[in-house]
Amino acid sequence: MADFAMPQRVLPMTGFHGGSSVVRLEPAAPAGRISLRAKAEDVSALSGSLGVDLPTRPKTSASANGRTALWLGPDEWLVIDESESGLMTAAANSGVLHSATDVSHRNTAILISGPGAEAAINTGCPQDLSLSVFPVGACSRTLFGKVEVVLMRTGEEAFRMEVWRSFSDYAFGLLSEGAKDAAL
């Protein structure tokens, strides 16, 4: 019997490395993601079944039980699950009207850390990323160069950039350039 090659999972940005003396760039591990839309009255039921409180203030996020919910708009959230499972089922079990779309494989993420992280991202992002305006836990959909990204501050000197996988090559390349500039 012929030997069939075992299918192998090839992640976007496999083997990519970049950064400089002040910025570290690395591809994030795969994660489960849903794009969630719901009305204000259904937020508490969805929060209960997802196990994380959906934030209702602009530019805020909430984390619990390995899941992070990011406020994108008044009725829109991006929910990320590190264990890659259960988000769609959890949303369906809420029993309230909502729209959940599995975007786990549409997005990938780049982790940016180090004292030059802000400067590297500001290479292509027009937002004010100083700690007073964009504190730890803040998140926002914005532009990075020519691509739309969701940016989240995970630490004082650490960011997570969610980007569509086909754009990840571009975003990583531009971040690498930014990282070099930040070290000058």
Partner 1 sequence: MLLIHCPYCEEDRSELEFRWAGEAHIARPENIAAISDEEFAEFFFLRNNEKGLTYERWRHIHGCGRFFNAARDTVSDRFLMTYKAGLPKQPIPVASKAAAIAEEKTVETWEATEGDAR
Strand order in the sheet with 139-144: 18-19, 24-27, 107-113, 158-164, 147-155, 139-144
Stretches 67-75, 89-97, 105-113, 173-181: which one binds partner 1 (CB under 8 A)?
67-75
CB of 70 or CB of 90, closer to partner 1 = 70
Binding characters for partner 1, 110-139, by CB under 8 A (x = yes) = ----------------xx------------
Tokens of 53: 């409180």
Q: What is the DSSP string of 34-74?
A: EEEE--GGGHHHHHHHHTSPPP-STT-EEEETTEEEEEEET
The nearest distance, CB 134 to partner 1, in angstroms, is: 10
Picking from 123, 120, 109, 112, the residue whose alpha carbon sits closest to that of residue 165 is 109
- Residues 71-90, interacting with partner 1 (CB under 8 A): 72-74, 76
Q: Which of 148, 155, 166, 173 forms a contact with partner 1 (CB under 8 A)? A: 148
Would you tell me which residues interact with partner 1 (CB under 8 A)? 58-59, 72-74, 76, 126-127, 140-143, 148
